[in-house]
Amino acid sequence: MNLDDPANHFASLDAADSLGHFRDCFLIPKAADGSDTIYFTGNSLGLQPKTARSFIEVELDDWARLGVEGHLHAAHPWLPYHEFLTEKMARIVGAEPLETVVMNSLTVNLHLLLVSFYRPAGRRRKIIVEKGSFPSDRYAILSHLKLHGVSDDALIELAPRDGEATLRTDDILGVIEREADELALVMLGGVNYYTGQAFAMAAITEAGHRAGAVVGFDLAHAAGNLELKLHDWNVDFAAWCSYKYLNAGPGGIAGAFVHARHSKAFDLPRFAGWWGHDKETRFQMGPDFVPLAGAEGWQVSNPPIFQMAALRASLDIFDEAGMSALREKSMKLTGFLETLLSKIADERIELITPKDPEQRGCQLSIRVRDADKRLFDAITARGVIADWREPDVIRVAPVPLYNSFEDVHRFAEILQECLS
């Protein structure tokens, strides 16, 4: 790598970065020598906002001070607490507040939404998914096929062409069109966790609807990463976790989206619970379930306040930075990483993430020849926190809120040194 190349001037890139100060809002894990690690696993567990602790402490204090009265009299009353998160979460995914709710965890939300939105009928029973999607999604979907007595053949798994690592949009759209007569549901990730490929969600949704199917997305790797427009794209439903790019902490409370046109689809089956019941009459404790309009109507239980407090700390930061500015920086940051990696020019490593910035988010997935994990172990020993995915991929995700161009530069140097 030629460090005199102007493209390597990380310092000037950091100086010109209007979001650089947000790094100070986070606690960066330290290496053994006390320096900051190069934390590139925001796609797995985002870092802790410095404010998270005090946001949770406020709730602990209110619980100590008020006991049950905290439901109404806490500084941020617990009864409507999830509502404090709705608008900010809606902005992150490009939704109306009515369409968004924070609740449960991701796979649980997928189940709740599949109950309502996978409705096999007659010949229309098939589901299109990605081959090699995150296992939890596959387990969940197969369990719904079983629930409906539909055979596993109804699962259509999109695979890249021979010799290619990622899917072509035309191929995805082609399968949707081909299966139109028998298609019940298209359910893909927004960004594939393994390859880092971002899918053409607007085009896929349009094609799915043209085929007469319902379209849902798992946005685990897309929320807080890409600029999403779920409402405008007409997506039927979506779910995502908040501990990855959204920095809400381990086991963080997840998000769900149901398009406004389904907000009063009370005839759809759903798994009911008292928190999805009409707020005006919830505490009359009547025997009949009256669902709330919109995504809130899919809530089941009263939600965990401490998790929501941590998420609130994080969403405040997202709201201040704004998704479009974050995405703009992210494209530069990941583009810078790609440029530096291309200069290493060692045939033992190869990028499998698409080169087109529109088809990826923060993450680059580096395939290591002969699955030699020693390379990963060596960069880890040098203070890089990345992750190794079997059989042969190192995933790195510089995120725009707390990673710098210097992080990217240092990472590229370390990788080069460990290769030689």
Ligand X SMILES: *Cc1c(COP(=O)(O)O)cnc(C)c1O
Residues binding ligand X (CB under 6 A):
105-107, 134, 136-137, 189, 193, 218, 220-221, 241
Q: How far is the CB of 252 from ligand X (least distance, A)?
A: 8
Contact assessment for residue 215 and residue 208, using Cβ atoms and an 8 Å cutoff: yes
Rounded distance between C-alpha atoms, residue 246 and residue 257, angstroms:
16
Q: How far is the CB of 316 from ligand X (least distance, A)?
A: 22
Q: Where are the alpha helices (H) located in 218-304, listed in sequence order?
A: 230-233
Residue 351, classed as helix, strand or coil, is: strand
Q: How many CB atoms lie within 10 A of CB 317?
A: 19
Structure tokens at 104: 């449960």
Which residues neighbour 158 within 8 Å (Cβ) at sequence distance 6 or greater? 128, 129, 130, 131, 167, 171, 172, 175, 188
Q: Where are the alpha helices (H) located in 291-404, listed in sequence order?
A: 305-321, 323-344, 374-381
Q: How far is the CB of 133 from ligand X (least distance, A)?
A: 6
Q: How far is the CB of 220 from ligand X (least distance, A)?
A: 3
Rounded distance between C-alpha atoms, residue 272 and residue 293, angstroms:
13
Cβ proximity to ligand X: between 110 and 309 the closer is 110
Q: How far is the CB of 105 from ligand X (least distance, A)?
A: 4
Cβ proximity to ligand X: between 62 and 130 the closer is 130
Cβ proximity to ligand X: between 39 and 336 the closer is 39
DSSP codes of every residue in 83-140: HHHHHHHHHHHT--GGGEEE-S-HHHHHHHHHHHH---BTTB-EEEEETT--HHHHHH
Cβ proximity to ligand X: between 145 and 187 the closer is 187
Structure tokens at 355: 């080169």
Which residues neighbour 170 within 8 Å (Cβ) at sequence distance 6 or greater? none
Rounded distance between C-alpha atoms, residue 287 and residue 185, angstroms:
33
Cβ proximity to ligand X: between 106 and 184 the closer is 106
Cβ proximity to ligand X: between 25 and 185 the closer is 185
Q: How far is the CB of 67 from ligand X (least distance, A)?
A: 31
Cβ proximity to ligand X: between 255 and 354 the closer is 255
Cβ proximity to ligand X: between 175 and 220 the closer is 220
Which residues neighbour 149 within 8 Å (Cβ) at sequence distance 6 or greater? none
Q: How far is the CB of 192 from ligand X (least distance, A)?
A: 8
Q: How far is the CB of 257 from ligand X (least distance, A)?
A: 15
Residue 246, classed as helix, strand or coil, is: coil
